[in-house]
Amino acid sequence: MKGLAMLKIGEIGWIEKDKPKCGPRDAIVKPLALAPCTSDVHTVWEGAIGDRHDMILGHEALGVVDEVGNEVKDFKPGDRVIVPAITPDWDSEAVQRGFPSQSGGALGGWKFSNFKDGVFGEYFHVNLADNNLAHLPEGMSLESAVMITDMMTTGFMAAENAEIGMGATVAVLGIGPVGLCGVAGAALRGAGRIFAVGTRPKAIEVAKEYGATDIISYKDGDTAEQILEATDGAGVDAVIVSGGGPDILIDALKMAKAGSKIANNNYYGKGVGEKDTIPLCRVNWGFGMADKDIVTGLCPGGRVRMERLADIISYGRMDPSLMATHVYKGFDKLEEALLLMKDKPRDLIKPVVLLDE
Amino acid sequence: MKGLAMLKIGEIGWIEKDKPKCGPRDAIVKPLALAPCTSDVHTVWEGAIGDRHDMILGHEALGVVDEVGNEVKDFKPGDRVIVPAITPDWDSEAVQRGFPSQSGGALGGWKFSNFKDGVFGEYFHVNLADNNLAHLPEGMSLESAVMITDMMTTGFMAAENAEIGMGATVAVLGIGPVGLCGVAGAALRGAGRIFAVGTRPKAIEVAKEYGATDIISYKDGDTAEQILEATDGAGVDAVIVSGGGPDILIDALKMAKAGSKIANNNYYGKGVGEKDTIPLCRVNWGFGMADKDIVTGLCPGGRVRMERLADIISYGRMDPSLMATHVYKGFDKLEEALLLMKDKPRDLIKPVVLLDE
Amino acid sequence: MKGLAMLKIGEIGWIEKDKPKCGPRDAIVKPLALAPCTSDVHTVWEGAIGDRHDMILGHEALGVVDEVGNEVKDFKPGDRVIVPAITPDWDSEAVQRGFPSQSGGALGGWKFSNFKDGVFGEYFHVNLADNNLAHLPEGMSLESAVMITDMMTTGFMAAENAEIGMGATVAVLGIGPVGLCGVAGAALRGAGRIFAVGTRPKAIEVAKEYGATDIISYKDGDTAEQILEATDGAGVDAVIVSGGGPDILIDALKMAKAGSKIANNNYYGKGVGEKDTIPLCRVNWGFGMADKDIVTGLCPGGRVRMERLADIISYGRMDPSLMATHVYKGFDKLEEALLLMKDKPRDLIKPVVLLDE
Amino acid sequence: MKGLAMLKIGEIGWIEKDKPKCGPRDAIVKPLALAPCTSDVHTVWEGAIGDRHDMILGHEALGVVDEVGNEVKDFKPGDRVIVPAITPDWDSEAVQRGFPSQSGGALGGWKFSNFKDGVFGEYFHVNLADNNLAHLPEGMSLESAVMITDMMTTGFMAAENAEIGMGATVAVLGIGPVGLCGVAGAALRGAGRIFAVGTRPKAIEVAKEYGATDIISYKDGDTAEQILEATDGAGVDAVIVSGGGPDILIDALKMAKAGSKIANNNYYGKGVGEKDTIPLCRVNWGFGMADKDIVTGLCPGGRVRMERLADIISYGRMDPSLMATHVYKGFDKLEEALLLMKDKPRDLIKPVVLLDE
């Protein structure tokens, strides 16, 4: 079968591989909708997680079940499914500790395009089908549903980790698709005022649609200063960090109230200096004592999460299809879509590739 | 001055009292908008909290500051203010334990129309003005803002206590104004499907506006059975109990999943039997082991809460004025409004009385 | 093989059954140490969970692995293991919701002596061996280790659910073995003063050893009154309910502060009246508004929990062997041990039966 | 009156000042026991919080009430009291947000020797006496009680923030007095294995007494490597950071499990490089996705906290007097005690100065 792969750091290409094999509790799935992710860009062009060779890329997919193992109960060939980017080993010790996404080691729930082939192939393998797949609700738009798999779950996670009180003031740094889902997530957790930091007109339009009340641009000066000024010096109750360079936490700490959460869902593709670090500002962190907690996570995966986020769409809480600014038809358009994600034209939020069933 | 009072259990009337005196950190406020509450009905006609004599009723008010004590910094005569139903003693030990509403003993933050005169007088006294009052944002509708003081903060509290996960399924039992704010609160915490249990057409209309996705009526049979059937037997992740008789928790436990929260904001005006109890169903409670927690509280008061809920309105997250179905003009209409709350005509959600400034 | 079974409600006896069969991820285990539980008494003589026929009893065991399925990786025949009373289906949706003990429905993690044969047989079956068994640390006393499986995990659960602040005041109602573990758990969560309510001298001795600072007896009057008096009317920050009749929550609510947790780990074998209910006192519950939350659960099972509680013993945090007041040798002593649990002589805390390896 | 002051960065000396004046809700207190703190050292010799001139140092004190304001109800001259290092403004908005220690701005609850004179004077001023002072229990040793004011509350805070599960594995980096209280706090939250990182024999002895099970020394190699090796590569569930240079979080992230808390109670007197930053290791932080949260805080103050920690001592949960390695008699020994804290001889944990009543 064919797949779009990372050949090595900095290089992608189409390769041929054997169709993956199905374990007793697993499934083989054919893609129905695919979306490239900034993570793919970090992985390939920044070498963020180290080198990989001939690894098929991609971790955002809807699909049609092609084959299931003999212990799978709830899915059968032909079922249309939502495939989470993160597919934990539900029988691992990390689950018992409360951290499914970290099953089998740090980021271990992230299998696709990390340490096994991703979803950008004609077929792909899903571990623990009953626990990780969710049925695609009938009639749900593919452009919407594919956003569940990573963008929504990642963006919402930060809003959840931010422990937003009803009516609290929130800043979202970065309004790429994950940041936009952070905005939507903040509104869905009951935020009052929401600052969204970004400059791209299309993203700003969607941010407002999702609940942003104030748009902040670096072009108007230091973003933290602007937010402090807009809040009469008080700052914000929570910061969602969904973009920015390796020193973005400096900004976050500056605008956060003493007594706040800084919820990161940024994937740091690179750090500062040769020691490859992410710096905190000692003074704005209150010398380590200002109750500004920095909370993180890898996006929650698994079946229940997918089902619940599908309900978010089904019951009209959010319309994620607004982010699908570039929709392609056909598997062979995948490379173009991925390069678009890398190049980030100003009107792009998220490219989606739809495939024939 | 004049006030509408509880004369004794079962009887109300207009009385004359001295204008209250202002302590150094307190304020005297003239009402600008007033709303009767079902609690007033429980208190007077059910004798729910015991007897009271010649106590001015009412705890939902907007007002204009008439006088402030000499230690008050942030308010001055003429300021238009939001007055929380619950005005904690912020320097009490309960605050240090994390329970401001219980300051000074059980329900001690509830002073108005409980153990001091309420807001249904020409003037009323507010303790700790800087900590309990909030400025009424310019241009905010009075019908909206008066809902903050009790309905929103109480309804939202249950939604917060219910620890609703993103996309979780919630049932709200009772769609009086507190229940409607429970519906809105559940949506604002990220619920997916929301069952609202009620029958009154006007309330149903508003419930849908606030995010209810399914309306359940007792006229169609046992409500818990209906919700279990609608969820294929799974039940709900959270139940918000905002109405019903003293045995309503029986219903709640029946429809709640093993592993759920039952968040009560119901004021039990009476109990079951001569022992005056609220019963749990042993079997549906899993013999005490089914992880169905029953969480409660008295609505959060204080300045920050009022400010944050004002932000909920200012930033367009919810329009509470939809609940103001009956709007009166003039202080002398207060009795009519209160009796309306007692009689509950079918088209009533909440009466509001607006006063001249 | 032979097993000690519930023949029907009110009757036990030795029966013959086939040795259980091992699934691919399961294990067959021979008992090494067994302990009867009050739950067995509730189940048989109160019919608490309904009728059962010829079901082997027991859910507290250490064992030696006899056989493992071909997918089991971490255990092999001959391994000495700790077997949790609760053995969740780790691949169920309840796990993804955060409630492993409720996997597969209410109390679904409780399989032994509930809906499959228990551990009081010559062999017993354990589902998901890798996820539910834990290795018995070398040199650990069997009398200690067998307490992990239910007593410690259940008692500690209530202390955890009680959200005890450092130095907070706690009351533990009932000092059977679960209540004693509640006392130890409260001390291990940082409680200051701990009231233990009970009368049996041996239990009182161990309660003090585990951290109880005040012993309260019903013989000296109303226990809640005594605790209120001892705290100058303040009451306690948390109540752990580990015993008492069906109306024990009445007591708990009376002694709990406004702003407190009532953490139940009591198994209600019967309720009040023909409606079979557990009553709350309306007034002492603050009419549903006094922030007295009633939190519950079924004891946490699974491998990680067992390993962590084994560490509690290994690192000297608690000595559970103090509870093993009656130690028998030989499988045939099981019936005597169980009847002892039913009869509860005054010097009994917990009987343990040790078997030859 | 006389006081031991910071004259400017790097310089201390005795100065004369007017006796402080008492506000209506405040108290003037004479010291009964005083303890210098590493914070004083950071403040004076590292200039950690910027320059100060002729500011009396010290924030750890027991005292005798000399004078109270006319609104103070619970204290009178002659009362012996525990004085928390942190004395929040309980009527500030930060309290309503849940962050008393940050009242009035970042670290605003820290008044003594930060932005008003500290406790190293013949008299000192305490704001909000009823809310911040606690009665010293009769018979409690002064060496024990003075540890409550900062060491215990700070050390315990990190253990609380670390959200230690029962039996979890914890590492405490640094075993100065705050780190030792972190060890004790971890044990009191139910930790199983506790690694303590330090080298000083006296501190090691006390760490073991407080519950440390493994002592790790940098002299035996990289401390994180040692802990990883001792845990078979698993790492720890929680890290308490109570010492180390500005890059100590690098170590913490290395030894922390994916899915863990890093609870900081370290006061960072200086940062790395001219940008004065605290660096995180990008890779060991899982590129921002490994669920390793960094949680902080300023030690909780106020009356209830002091009372609860006094109960920890009264009920025998911990003996903090073990840390009082150097006890002086007389106010004039204060300078010697402070310089001892600066010089840190190997047998020092904490100096305490006792004064005549």
Q: What is the DSSP string of C106-163?
A: TTTT--BTTTB--S-BSSEEESSHHHH-EEPPTT--HHHHHHIIIIIHHHHHHHHHTT
Q: What pLDDT, in 10s, does the model give residues C322-342? A: 999 999 999 999 999 999 999
Strand partners, A294: A262, D294
| Closest residue to D106, CB basis, from A98, A250, A286 | A286
Long-range contacts of D49-53 (CB under 8 A, 24+ apart): D49/A287, D49/D114, D51/D8, D51/D9, D52/D6, D52/D8, D52/D9, D53/D6, D53/D7, D53/D8
- Mean pLDDT along residues A236-241: 98
Count other C-beta atoms under 10 Å from residue D343's C-beta. Answer: 9
Is the pLDDT at B309 greater than 80? The verdict is yes
Question: With 90 as the cut, is the pLDDT of residue C48 above it?
Answer: no
* D314 and C CB contact within 8 Å: yes
Residues of C in contact with A101 (CB under 8 A): none
Residue closest to B106 by CA, chosen among B284, B331, B237, B297 = B297
Quick: pLDDT tens for B154-189.
Answer: 999 999 999 999 999 999 999 999 999 999 999 999
Q: Could you tell me the pLDDT band of residue D49, with boundaries at 50, 70 and 90? A: confident
Q: Decide if D304 and B130 are in contact by the 8 Å CB cutoff.
A: no
The stretch A229-257 carries a mean pLDDT of 97
> What is the rounded CA–CA span in Å between residue A256 and residue C37?
52
Structure tokens at A167: 């009516």
Look at C308 and D156 and tell me if their CB atoms are within 8 Å: no
pLDDT of residue D18: 97
pLDDT of residue C156: 98
Q: Quick check: A302 and C128 CB within 8 A?
A: no
Confidence (pLDDT) at A15: 98
- Tell me which amino acid residue B107 is: L
Structure tokens at A96: 């018992």
Model confidence at C308, pLDDT cuts 50, 70, 90, reads very high
Q: State the pLDDT confidence band at D357, using cuts at 50, 70 and 90.
A: confident
Chain D nearest-CA distance from A200, in A, is 25
DSSP annotation of C90 = T
Q: What b/e readout covers D229-256, taking b as 16+ CB neighbours within 10 angstroms?
A: ebbeeebbbbbbbbbbebbbbbbbbbbb
Per-residue pLDDT, D158: 98
* Predicted local confidence at residue A308, as pLDDT: 98
Contact state of B259 with C94 under an 8 Å Cβ cutoff: yes
Q: Is the pLDDT of residue D263 over 90?
A: yes
| Residue C357: predicted pLDDT | 77
| Residues facing D30 on adjacent strands | D64
CATH 3.40.190.10 fits A155-296, yes or no: no
- pLDDT at residue A357, as a whole number: 77
CA dist B36 to B63, B180, B327, B355, C21, Å? 15, 16, 11, 14, 67
Got the DSSP string for B255-324?
A: HEEEEEEEEE----S--BTTTTEEEEETTTTGGGTS-EEEE------SHHHHHHHHHHHHTTS--GGGGE
Residue in D56, D63, D64, D50 with CA at minimum distance from that of residue D116:
D56
Structure confidence at residue B48 as a pLDDT band (50, 70, 90):
confident
Q: Say whether pLDDT at C131 is over 90.
A: yes
Domain with CATH 3.40.50.720 in chain B: 155-296
Residue type at D74?
D
A24-53: average pLDDT: 93
User: Which residues from chain C sit within 8 angstroms of residue D192, using beta carbons?
Assistant: 308, 311-312, 314-315, 317
Nearest Cβ partner of B96 from D91, D97, D302?
D302
Tell me which H or E stretch contains D14: strand D11-16
Q: Using the beta-carbon criterion (under 8 Å), do B312 and A160 form an inter-chain contact?
A: no
What's the confidence (pLDDT) of residue D7? 96
- Residue A55 pairs in a beta bridge with A6
D302 touches chain B (CB under 8 A): yes
pLDDT at D266: 95
Of the candidate ranges A65-79, C38-52, C91-105, the one whose mean pLDDT is the lowest: C38-52
Superfamily of domain A2-152+299-354 in the CATH hierarchy: Medium-chain alcohol dehydrogenases, catalytic domain (3.90.180.10)
Determine contact: A234 vs chain C, CB below 8 A: no
Percent of chain C with pLDDT over 70: 100
Residue C217: what pLDDT?
97
Residue-level pLDDT at A160: 98
The whole-angstrom distance between C316's CA and the closest CA on chain A is 22
**Residue position matching structure tokens 């253990």:** D159
Residues from chain B that touch C264, judged by Cβ atoms under 8 A, are: 288
Q: Which chain B residues touch C266 with a CB distance below 8 Å?
A: 288
Name the band, by pLDDT with cuts 50, 70 and 90, for residue C90: very high
Query: Among partner residues C160, C185, C193, which is closest to D315 by beta-carbon distance?
Result: C193
Structural tokens at position A264: 């990161």
* Residues B314-330 pLDDT 10s: 999 999 999 999 999 99
Q: How big, in percent rounded to 5, are the helix, strand and coil portions of chain B? A: 30, 25, 45
Please name the residue of chain A whose CA is at the shortest distance from the CA of residue C92: A131
Q: In this complex, do D288 and A282 lie within 8 Å of one another by their Cβ atoms?
A: no
The secondary structure element, H or E, covering residue A179 is helix A177-188
Asked if residues B347 and B202 have their Cβ atoms less than 8 Å apart, the reply is: yes
* Cβ atoms of D120 and D334 closer than 8 Å: yes
- What is the per-residue pLDDT for A230? 98
Backbone angle region of D183, left / alpha / beta, with phi > 0 → left and psi within -120 to 50 → alpha: alpha
Q: Which residue has the higher pLDDT, A136 or B48?
A: A136
Q: Are B109 and C286 in contact (CB under 8 A)?
A: no
C-beta atoms of B90 and D91 within 8 A: yes
Q: Quote the CA–CA distance of C24 and C111 in Å, as a whole number.
A: 18
Mind telling me how many Å the CA of C257 is from chain B's nearest CA? 8
- Residue A350 is predicted with a pLDDT of 97
The pLDDT tens digits of the residues spanning D80-137 come to 999 999 999 999 999 999 999 999 999 999 999 998 999 999 999 999 999 999 999 9
pLDDT digits (tens, 9 = 90+) for A254-298: 999 999 999 999 999 999 999 999 999 999 999 999 999 999 999
Model pLDDT, residue D52: 93
- For chain A, give every residue range classified as CATH 3.90.180.10: 2-152+299-354
Q: What is the rounded average pLDDT for all residues in chain B?
A: 97
Residues of chain D contacting residue B74, judged by C-beta atoms under 8 Å apart: none
Question: In this predicted structure, what is the pLDDT of residue B146?
Answer: 98
pLDDT band at residue D356 under the 50/70/90 scheme:
confident
Query: D221-230 pLDDT, tens per residue?
Result: 999 999 999 9
Cα dihedral sign, A140-A143-A149-A155 = negative
- Work out the percent of chain A whose per-residue pLDDT is above 70: 100
Closest chain A CA to residue D50:
A283
SS3 of residue C353 by DSSP: strand
The predicted-structure confidence for A20-34, as pLDDT tens digits, reads as follows 999 999 999 999 999
Chain B, window 81-100: residues with a beta carbon less than 8 angstroms from a chain C beta carbon: 94, 97-99
Across chain C, what does the average pLDDT equal? 97
The confidence score (pLDDT) of residue D68 equals 98
Q: Is the predicted pLDDT of residue D305 greater than 90, yes or no?
A: yes
Closest CB to D311: pick one of C167, C189, C317. Answer: C167
Structure tokens given for B73: 């910094």
CA C277 to chain centre: 22
As a whole number, mean pLDDT of residues D52-64 equals 97
User: Is the Cα dihedral B334, B339, B340, B342 positive or negative?
Assistant: positive
Q: Is the pLDDT of residue B357 over 80?
A: no
User: Which chain D residues are within 8 Å of B91, Cβ to Cβ?
Assistant: 90-91, 128, 130-131
